[in-house]
Amino acid sequence: MRFLALIPIIILALYQLDKALPKYYIFDPEKLQELSKASIERHPNNVTELMYDLTDALQKEYGEKHVMPFSTDPEKWMFSNHGNAMGSMIILHASITEYLILYGTPLGSEGHSGVHLAHDYFTILQGIEKRYMPGELEATEYHPGDQNWLPRGTRSQYMLKGWALELAQGWIPSMLPFGFLDTFTSTLDLPNLWRTVRLTAEGMVGQLLIGKF
Ligand SMILES: *[C@@H]1O[C@H](CO)[C@@H](O)[C@H](O)[C@H]1NC(C)=O
């Protein structure tokens, strides 16, 4: 029974760590939007070239050790099934407190955002996103260069047809079950799940080894 006395101490420690989390962030949502807008302007008609250009700019801004290069190699791309939506993604950065991915679908998809212990910043690169929150009766539309923010702990229904740069900041490991569960209840695409787990873990361990939490 004595361990019960530890519970408030553990809660307090977690609370303190949670408050300190932003200290570990390296990415700045405003800077990401600015770089995205510049790449959109340079490559308005070719999203492949836009993604190469934007990833280059991100590597220049944040360093090659924090931002992985862009590629159209199918080995680097994963499907993501989550909250009834589907898209594909390439990981540019994954650590315990942040991830940065290129995400989207040329076909269009729609679903639940999930409720996360992280803030989510979604900058549209091509196409359109529409979303609304409970209580709103009309959707908000986001076009290339627009950034929408899903605050930690909030939820939306969204529809995306196109591509976006997505930054999440918070407790990234806590978001993973939402990203993985549809594999077991729906797609049974285990090789895709394995690739996602492996590339995410490689990112997180690699970043930890260079001191990025
Ligand atoms: C976009 O650019 C890529 C790479 O340069 C090229 O392979 C592709 O054909 C281009 N697509 C269009 C629609 O122009």
pTM for the full predicted model: 0.95
Q: What is the mean pLDDT of residues 176-189?
A: 94
Q: Are 121 and 32 in contact (CB under 8 A)?
A: yes
Distance CA(93)–CA(91), nearest Å, equals 6
Q: Say what the pLDDT of residue 32 is.
A: 98
What is the largest distance, in Å, between two alpha-carbon atoms of the chain? 65
Asked whether 49 lines ligand 1 (CB < 6 A), one says yes
Does some domain include residue 93?
yes
Q: Is the CB of 64 under 6 A from ligand 1?
A: no
> Both tokens of residue 100?
């940065």
Residues 23-53: tens digit of each pLDDT: 999 999 999 999 999 999 999 999 999 999 9
Q: Is pLDDT above 80 for 9? A: yes
From 43, 48, 50, the mutation candidate for ligand 1 (largest count of ligand atoms within 8 A of CB) is: 48
Question: Does the Cβ of 44 fall within 6 Å of ligand 1?
Answer: no
Residues 135, 165, 57, 97, CA torsion sign: positive
| Residue 177 domain flag | yes
5 domain residue, yes or no:
no
pLDDT of residue 189: 96
pLDDT tens profile 70-115: 999 999 999 999 999 999 999 999 999 999 999 999 999 999 999 9
**Number of domains into which the chain is organized:** 1
Q: Does residue 98 fall inside a structural domain?
A: yes
| 13 assigned to some structural domain | no
Residue 72: CB within 6 Å of ligand 1? no
Ligand 1 centroid from CA 34, angstroms: 24
**Distance (Å) of CA 176 to CA 49, 153, 173, 179:** 29, 15, 5, 5
> Is residue 55 situated within a structural domain?
yes
Q: Is the pLDDT score of 4 beyond 90?
A: no
Q: What CATH number should be reported for the domain holding residue 46?
A: 2.60.120.10
What's 34's DSSP letter? H
Residue 190, pLDDT score: 95
Q: Does residue 7 fall inside a structural domain?
A: no
Measured in angstroms, how far is the CA atom of residue 49 from the centroid of ligand 1?
A: 7
Query: Is the model's pLDDT at 2 over the cut of 80?
Result: no
Query: H helices then E strands: how many in the chain?
Result: 5, 7
CA distances from 114 to 56, 65, 134, 135, 175 (A): 30, 30, 13, 17, 9
Query: What pLDDT, on a 0 to 100 scale, did the predictor assign at position 57?
Result: 98
Q: Is residue 15 part of a domain?
A: no
Question: What one-character-per-residue DSSP string does 61-85 give?
Answer: HH-TTTSPPP---GGGEEEEEETTE
CB of residue 46 inside a 6 A radius of ligand 1: yes
Ligand 1: which of 45, 49, 163 to mutate, judged by most atoms within 8 Å of the beta carbon?
Answer: 49
- Domain carrying residue 54: 28-209
Q: What is the pLDDT of residue 184?
A: 94
Mean pLDDT of the chain: 96
* Per-residue pLDDT at 5: 84
